Amino acid sequence: MAVILKTDAEIDQMKKSCQLAAQLLDYIEPYIVPGVTTGELNTLCHDYTLAHDAISAPLNYKGFPKSICTSVNEVICHGIPTSKQKLKEGDIINIDVTPILLGYHGDTSKTFFVGDRISPVAKKLVQCAKDSLSKGIDAVKVNNRLGDIGAAIQEYAESQGFSVVREFVGHGIGKVFHEEPQIPHFGTRGRGLRLEPGMTFTIEPMINEGHWKAKILKDGWTAVTVDNKLSAQFEHTIAIRENGDVEILTLP
């Protein structure tokens, strides 16, 4: 499938869904406290999305049963919210949201601390994941290559003593949830597809405390670290405007 380039007018429409996604993460943050269930967080996000005339893209996407992904501690991505999973003091949780508004998807995620007693390694990992995303975004320039994005992320994360998940990547996005191109968070500078105006895609590095490999649980969705160590992730949706300017559409 070819890359679908967007006009500035189309990007402006898409930005509305991306801004709603950013607002959704801001809205849910005060509820992320010890004792809350991931199922309760899902309901809050689902209701907020509907109240803003949008729908949740993850719900029923290829059979995914909930409206958001809640990935706690060793869960890398695609954690399924449940009424039984209570957050505990010291947990970290990534919440990934994708509302559809006016036909366009807005995709973003953030890793939050639960409570105040967060371990030093968890703090360092989460900061590394956040900074890795920034390094990747800094590499987005017209005529750069996809490999420049992945290399920037990999070089930084590994310099901090962490690893980059290989099995899951960023992706093109627009009226379709997952479009071309795929955006690896590892790679070699100067390799891969050349970046050009009209591209819209996510960058969403998943950074592990230990080994980079993932395994999928029996539910067919939940990806966890193979060594049961922590994983953290941040995600933004990026657009390259017609004049070559790079814009983070999901920036609050």
Which residues 6+ apart lie within 8 Å of 95 measured at CB? 25, 28, 32, 41, 45, 68, 69, 70, 71, 109, 110, 112
Q: Check whether 93 has a pLDDT greater than 90.
A: yes
Q: Is residue 30 part of a domain?
A: yes
The CATH number for 238's domain is 3.90.230.10
Number of domains the chain contains:
1
Report the percent of the chain where pLDDT is more than 90.
99
Q: Is residue 13 part of a domain?
A: yes
- Write down the mean pLDDT value for the chain: 98
Q: Is residue 1 part of a domain?
A: no
Q: Check whether 1 has a pLDDT greater than 90.
A: no
Distances (CA, A) of 147 to 142, 151, 195, 237: 13, 6, 10, 18
Note the pLDDT tens digit of each residue in 165-216.
999 999 999 999 999 999 999 999 999 999 999 999 999 999 999 999 999 9
Q: Is residue 196 part of a domain?
A: yes
Q: Can you point out the beta strands (E) in the chain?
A: 55-56, 69-72, 75-77, 92-97, 99-101, 104-105, 108-113, 163-164, 170-172, 179-183, 200-203, 206-208, 214-216, 223-225, 231-233, 236-240, 246-248
What is the average per-residue pLDDT within 23-35? 98
- Which residues sit opposite 156 in a β-bridge? none
Q: Is residue 81 part of a domain?
A: yes
pLDDT category at 248 given cuts 50, 70, 90 is very high
Q: Is residue 133 part of a domain?
A: yes
Q: Is residue 90 part of a domain?
A: yes
Phi-psi region at 146: left, alpha or beta (left = phi > 0; alpha = psi -120 to 50): alpha
pTM for the full predicted model: 0.96
pLDDT category at 43 given cuts 50, 70, 90 is very high
Q: Check whether 115 has a pLDDT greater than 90.
A: yes
- Among 95, 58, 37, smallest CA distance to 177 is for 58
Question: Range of 128's domain?
Answer: 8-248
pLDDT of residue 223: 98
Q: Is residue 46 part of a domain?
A: yes
